[in-house]
Amino acid sequence: MFGRKKKKEAQAKTGAAEKQSQLAVVKDAYRLVKKDAPLAIFWCLLVFVLILTFGVIIGYNLDHPIYAGFLSLPLAFLAAFFLFTRYANTAAFSSIEGQIGAGASVLMSIRRGFLTTPAVNVNRNQDMVHRVSGKAGIILVGEGGFGVKSLMLDERRKMERFLSGVPITEVIVGDAEGQVSIRKLQKHLKKLPKKLSTVQLREVRARVKSVGGLNLPVPKGPIPNNIRMPKR
């Protein structure tokens, strides 16, 4: 009896912590959006009102305005919610863009399928290479200036020594031709062809774990595609 009571109390505390955490995420996202796009909330509210109004007008024409209003209410909320998350994603990228280690921050926000070791190779100009392991093999992600290419070459040679035969892909973050924008970095990695099985990937990660990396700070804050909103 006492055990069940304690279990219920623990579940209640966990649920409260999750709600508080979600609320904190929403507050952080709101602050970012307000700073990056002050009119964003206005546009979200406008979309909500327009869709709700349009639904009620259709309801009047069908002689069911209240019923149509109830049906259009969740649709209006979802549309405004979707627009807000787009603004939040853009604001989150803007908050870290141009910072040292911004690429690592985006990479480490990928929840499934990829394991990132940030800043495995860095030079005095703060160019750096991050190492990502996934079913595509080893992905070397570089960010910085001209010196990043030599860092990528050094890291590729190291990986070829430790992991002979494992596919290695190179990605450079940037807006120049042949580079991948930080806004598209996650999608780019997820689209890479899968070349390793689950067992092979586990073995690769076990072997590459011994190589390690440098311990450098990366930008913190809400990251695109992982801004958690309250459950509806």
- Going by pLDDT thresholds of 50, 70 and 90, the confidence category of residue 6 is very low
Domain housing 70: 2-96
At residue 222, the pLDDT reads 44
Q: Between 27 and 194, whose confidence is greater?
A: 194
Supply the pTM of this predicted model: 0.64
77 in any annotated domain: yes
Contact criterion met (CB below 8 Å) for 122 and 131: no
At residue 230, the pLDDT reads 38
Residues 147 and 72 reside in one and the same domain: no
Residues 113 and 186 reside in one and the same domain: yes
Q: Between 72 and 222, whose confidence is greater?
A: 72
222 in any annotated domain: no
Contact criterion met (CB below 8 Å) for 119 and 78: no
Around Cβ 130, how many Cβ atoms within 10 Å?
28
At residue 212, the pLDDT reads 60
* Joined tokens for residue 35: 């700073």
215 in any annotated domain: no
pLDDT in tens, 95-151: 666 677 778 888 888 878 899 888 888 888 888 999 999 999 999 999 988 889 999
Residues 26 and 78 reside in one and the same domain: yes
From 48, 80, 96, give the residue that closes a domain. 96
pLDDT in tens, 87-106: 887 777 776 666 777 788 88
What is the domain count for the chain?
2
**pLDDT reading at 18 higher than 80:** no
Residues 71 and 116 reside in one and the same domain: no
Residues 118 and 187 reside in one and the same domain: yes
Question: Mean pLDDT throughout 14-37?
Answer: 66
DSSP 3-state percent helix, strand, coil across the chain (nearest 5): 55, 10, 30
Residues 86 and 144 reside in one and the same domain: no
160 in any annotated domain: yes
At residue 192, the pLDDT reads 93
